[in-house]
Amino acid sequence: MIAKTLYHITLTTGHVAVTPRAAIENSSVIAALAPLVTDTPANVPPVGWGLKLYRPKALHGRSECWAMTQTANAVDGAAMFTVSAASNPSHDRRPNFVHCVACWSPALSKAAWHIARDCAAAGGLPMAHGVQRPHHFPWLAVALDVGIQCASPNELHMLGDFERCFAWTLIESRQRRQGQMAA
């Protein structure tokens, strides 16, 4: 079953947006982001943001018990990614802007939600009161990091769109891999 909408929740504010996949009209956006679905930290063209991707790895052979990893043999159905500031020669560390957890598998939802809550706590900003785990799939939970204060107004404007586009890229990456194996 192909998902048609993404349930996007900002953990820090409690804001929820349900956005259709069709909102990303230009398929070249997903194609441009597809190479970033790798195990190595990358820079997001053309803005240069830092991107670290983590995927669940089953522990004890059980998909419902997992930890985030940067290895290729990960469980499909959820991922966490952190977006940080563009590299700057005058700074040795990039401030993190957001920590995101995307989940498109009901079997991984509970564990993915725990990871999202941990991201919110680690980001240094409180989670909004009453935020609950989504029961719609796929979902994307976003926790703002205190480093968001370093983002320019233009970056703030682009972040939400990037979060959704990259979540869709992750969700559809399995379909692309299956299509390549069948070809």
Higher-confidence residue of 78 and 68: namely 78
Q: In the chain, how many domains are there?
A: 1
Claim: this prediction has a pTM higher than 0.75: yes
Structure tokens at 42: 């990358």
Residue 158 within a domain:
yes
Residue 21 within a domain:
no
pLDDT in tens, 92-144: 678 999 999 999 999 889 989 998 999 899 888 999 999 999 999 999 999 99
pLDDT of residue 173: 82
- Burial class of residue 76, CB neighbours in 10 A (0-12, 13-18, 19+): middle
Residue 11 within a domain:
no
d(CA 75, CA 72): 9
Higher-confidence residue of 141 and 25: namely 141
Residue 53 within a domain:
yes
pLDDT of residue 1: 56
Q: What domain range includes position 124?
A: 27-91+109-128+141-177
pLDDT in tens, 40-74: 667 777 778 988 888 887 655 554 555 566 665 67
If pLDDT is split at 50, 70 and 90, which confidence band does 5 have?
very high
Q: What percent of the chain has pLDDT over 70?
A: 80
Residue 87 within a domain:
yes
d(CA 145, CA 125): 6
Residue 22 within a domain:
no
Cα first-last separation, the chain: 21
> Quick one: CA dihedral 95, 66, 20, 169, positive or negative?
positive
Structure tokens at 100: 């995101």
Residue 7 within a domain:
no
Residue 12 within a domain:
no
Contact 48, 9 (CB under 8 A): no
If pLDDT is split at 50, 70 and 90, which confidence band does 182 have?
very low
pLDDT of residue 151: 92
pLDDT of residue 66: 57
